Amino acid sequence: MFVRKFLPARVTGAVLLAGATRQLAQAGIPDPGRDARRLLAHVLGVAPGRLSLCLQDPVTPEDEAAFSDLIARRALHAPVSHLTGRRAFYGRDFQVTPDVLDPRPETETLVAQALSAPFDRVLDLGTGSGCLLFTLLAERGSATGIGTDLSEAALRVAGRNGDALGLMARAALRRGDWFGALGSLSGRFDLIVSNPPYIAATEMPGLAPDVRDHEPRMALTDEGDGLSAYRAIAAGAARHLVPGGRLLVEIGPTQGAAVAALFAQAGLDEIAVIPDLDGRDRVVAARLQAV
């Protein structure tokens, strides 16, 4: 006797996406559709911009299960970058793990400012994923640089990013407390950059759970007033910059005046507070006077 077998109909990406978006919305995720699309694109191995082209295709049971797992974790506020392990920054792809800050688009303001003038030797204090150091080295093919961090685990992630981008021949990574990480390494820098932890301890409870509960605490806060990293950086800048060298730091939007004052007290010149694309103060720039 002829027996016709019916395979269960496979669900399409469009159906999965609609359900996932509802699930994330119910969990209070701010942009549920965007995150669901990014996670489905990740599971299907397509660029997010090309996802629409395959939304009507049936999804395999394995991909459906993997997507469902990621959506369940996102509903618990795990950052998308931790779920995909990747984050695009200034046009390059960086590995991101729970050991490093998820590189933020607003940090590209500091990159643009750094690239607005020449430099040969750059120091990135608190390098995290290495997104600042390796972006600057990739954009300036003859420059060399050092990235430092207090976190050994963060430096391992930075090293993997440097390797993946083929930049470790021009870079070194050192562990330690701000300038203390340089140890016996000699030589001054014509550019020092830093995006240090700048959230005051009292502000930590008010952060979004995606950030507060999932990103490394030492990447977010100095456990004080949010300015202690700037004090350490200001105190050491003149000893580590060449005359005419530049210092650029990312700041929280309300910290411009306080950080500018610290840099002025440290004897730096040409101090400027620079806004990001949303018009919020984001970078403080200064220069060591040329002799």
Ligand X SMILES: C[S@@+](CC[C@H](N)C(=O)[O-])C[C@H]1O[C@@H](n2cnc3c(N)ncnc32)[C@H](O)[C@@H]1O
What pairs with residue 113 in β-bridges? none
- Element containing residue 171 per DSSP (H, E): strand 171-175
Q: Is 162 in the site for ligand X (CB under 6 A)?
A: no
- One-letter amino acid of 250: E
Q: Is 227 in the site for ligand X (CB under 6 A)?
A: no
Among 109, 113, 135, 195, binds ligand X (CB under 6 A): 195
Q: Is 255 in the site for ligand X (CB under 6 A)?
A: no
Among 24, 96, 219, 285, binds ligand X (CB under 6 A): 219
Applying CB under 6 A, the span of 35-43, 56-64, 122-130, 183-191 interacting with ligand X comes to: 122-130
- Asked if residue 132 lies in contact with residue 195, where contact means CB atoms within 8 angstroms, the answer is yes
Q: Which residues contact 8 (CB under 8 A, 6 or more apart)?
A: none
Give the C-alpha separation, 164 to 182, whole Å: 24
Quick one: 21 or 129, whose CB is closer to ligand X?
Answer: 129
- Asked if residue 250 lies in contact with residue 195, where contact means CB atoms within 8 angstroms, the answer is yes
Q: Is 221 in the site for ligand X (CB under 6 A)?
A: no
Q: Is 171 in the site for ligand X (CB under 6 A)?
A: no
CB 157 to ligand X: min, Å? 9
CB 151 to ligand X: min, Å? 4
Stretch 75-114 residues interacting with ligand X (CB under 6 A): 100-101, 103, 107
Applying CB under 6 A, the span of 5-13, 150-158, 166-174, 236-244 interacting with ligand X comes to: 150-158
Quick one: 17 or 248, whose CB is closer to ligand X?
Answer: 248
Q: Is 14 in the site for ligand X (CB under 6 A)?
A: no
Q: Is 197 in the site for ligand X (CB under 6 A)?
A: yes
HSE-up (13 A, CA, CB side) for residue 159? 11
Give the C-alpha separation, 264 to 32, whole Å: 44
- Asked if residue 203 lies in contact with residue 135, where contact means CB atoms within 8 angstroms, the answer is no
Among 164, 200, 218, 238, binds ligand X (CB under 6 A): 218
CA torsion, ordered 119, 276, 240, 171, to nearest 10 deg = -60
CA torsion, ordered 204, 208, 210, 213, to nearest 10 deg = 30
Give the C-alpha separation, 44 to 67, whole Å: 9
Coil, strand or helix: which one is 94?
Answer: strand
Q: Is 247 in the site for ligand X (CB under 6 A)?
A: no
CB 77 to ligand X: min, Å? 19
Among 81, 151, 221, 255, binds ligand X (CB under 6 A): 151
Binding residues for ligand X, rule: CB under 6 A, are 100-101, 103, 107, 126-129, 131-132, 148-151, 154, 177-178, 195-197, 218-219
